[in-house]
Amino acid sequence: MSPNSPKKEYTRKDFASDQEVRWCPGCGDYAILAAVQRTLPSLGSTPENTVFISGIGCSSRFPYYMNTYGFHTIHGRAPAIATGLKLANPKLDVWVITGDGDGLSIGGNHLLHVLRRNIDLQIMLFNNQIYGLTKGQYSPTSQVGKVTPSSPLGSIDQPVVPTRFALGARATFVARAFDTSKKLPEALSAAREHKGASFIEILQNCPVFNDGVFELITDRKTGPAYQLWLEHGQPMKFGANGEKGLRLKPETLSLEVVTIGEDGVSEQDIVVHDETNASLAWMLTDLPEVVALGVLYRQPGPVYNESVATQRDLAEDRFGEPDLHALLRQGHTWTVS
């Protein structure tokens, strides 16, 4: 495409590569892939300026199926590779694809640092609470007691809560969604719009090694009772008819699930979501009886790659044109004749 040709309108197909998708039948990754391919054109993304960087694991095959630039890297290191890429070319739209093992086990350190530095990219963490590619061992998000080949008597590891980890790392954007949700594109769009590191946990079903682990939440029938979709400035209500909500218990500084109209609970008792409130977001990461979905936290902060550019400008202003001849002669020199 020459620079003078009219701007092309991209569709979902433009973002799909010619490679045969090789995830297991029924894998939640298919739905996530479709959501991403559908969402990118609507965001004005172009295949040439979009890059997907992944680590290792089932989720990390993702870049092969996108007709964008992609790099299927090494286990856990995608955030660090993406950091270098973004520093080399800040104009690129960089997405990191990782999983609960890749991002929170072997790559936990890099996830921590990419979030606290607030590099402008999107991190999609597919959480299926299991190691799929190595055939079903427990992962750092598996529930205690999970029976797997490496934990025949049940896992004794305490699980990490991904969104809580992200908040602890001082992420500036933390969201949660699930693979088959119609609202996943909305979360992806919000992540993309956010300047800085956006963290999205996507609950994802592994039909082979951990089938149905999120079923109560994601099922059409049972789901409404467990899905709390957050909206900034709106009371945090859920349930098939919005009859349930979250109320603050001031004596324990915690949130409890209440039913509006019961025990004297009224609409006014329901806490209004404020996505800039880190304390509230912290409580929303791990609620009893219900799962908070959508944007838990969004509070823009200094963006690392922009600060790098600012310092570059500062150095250029201070030191002027680079001059190798002068560089080698800085300090003391002498002449032998």
Partner 1 sequence: MEPSAAARVQPSPRETLDSVIIRFAGDSGDGMQLTGSQFTTATADAGNDLSTFPDFPAEIRAPAGTTYGVSGYQIHFASHDVQTPGDAPDVLVAMNPAALKVNSEVLKTGGLLVVNSGAFTANNLKKAGYEVNPLEDGSLDRFRVLALDVTKMTLDAVKEVGLGSKDANRCKNMWTLGLMYWLFGRERDQTVGWLKNKFAKRPKLAEANIAALNAGHIYGENAELPHGINAYQVPSANLAPGEYRNISGNEATAWGLVTGARLAGLEVMYGSYPITPASSLLHNLARLKHFGVTTFQAEDEIAAVAAAVGASFGGSIGVTGTSGPGVALKSEAIGVAMMAELPLVIVNVQRGGPSTGLPTKTEQSDLFQAVWGRNGDAPLVVLAAATPGDCYYMAIEAIRVATTYMTPVILLTDGYLANSAEPWLLPDVDALKPFPVAFHQEPEGFHPFSRDEETLARVWPVPGTPGLEHRIGGLEKDRSTGHISYDPHNHHLMTSVRHDKIAGIARDVAPAKVDQGDNHGDLLVVGWGSTYGSIRQAVSVLREKGHQVSHLHLRNIWPLPEGLGNLLDSFHTVLVPELNNGQLVKLLRAEYPVDAVSLPRVTGLPFRIGGLIQAMEERLQGSAI
Residues that bind partner 1 (CB under 8 A): 1, 17, 19, 46-49, 51, 53, 63-64, 66-75, 77, 79-89, 91-92, 109-110, 112-113, 308, 311-312, 314-316, 318-322, 324-325, 327-329, 331-337
Nearest to 125 by CA among 74, 87, 178, 89: 178
**Minimum CB separation from partner 1 for residue 96, in Å?**
11
Choose between 197 and 217: whose C-beta lies nearer to partner 1.
197
Choose between 130 and 169: whose C-beta lies nearer to partner 1.
169
For residues 265 and 281, give the distance between their C-alpha atoms in angstroms, rounded to a whole number.
Answer: 23
For residues 92 and 151, give the distance between their C-alpha atoms in angstroms, rounded to a whole number.
Answer: 42
Residue 122 token pair: 């999107």
For residues 101 and 139, give the distance between their C-alpha atoms in angstroms, rounded to a whole number.
Answer: 6
**Minimum CB separation from partner 1 for residue 162, in Å?**
19
Q: What value does the CA radius of gyration of the chain take, rounded to a whole number of Å? A: 23
Choose between 144 and 315: whose C-beta lies nearer to partner 1.
315
**Minimum CB separation from partner 1 for residue 86, in Å?**
8
For 214, half-sphere exposure in the C-beta direction (CA atoms, 13 angstrom radius) is 26
Rounded to whole angstroms, what are the CA distances from 45 to 94, 234, 281? 11, 30, 29
**Minimum CB separation from partner 1 for residue 164, in Å?**
20
Judging by beta carbons within 10 Å of its beta carbon (0-12, 13-18, 19+), is residue 52 exposed, middle or buried? buried
For residues 126 and 59, give the distance between their C-alpha atoms in angstroms, rounded to a whole number.
Answer: 7
Choose between 66 and 203: whose C-beta lies nearer to partner 1.
66
Choose between 77 and 298: whose C-beta lies nearer to partner 1.
77
- Reported for 187-190, long-range contacts at CB under 8 A and 24+ positions apart, including other chains, are 187/293, 187/294, 187/295, 188/35, 188/36, 188/39, 188/122, 188/124, 189/39, 189/42, 189/43, 190/295, 190/298
**Minimum CB separation from partner 1 for residue 282, in Å?**
23
For residues 283 and 177, give the distance between their C-alpha atoms in angstroms, rounded to a whole number.
Answer: 17
**Minimum CB separation from partner 1 for residue 12, in Å?**
15
Choose between 74 and 225: whose C-beta lies nearer to partner 1.
74
Choose between 16 and 271: whose C-beta lies nearer to partner 1.
16
**Minimum CB separation from partner 1 for residue 91, in Å?**
7
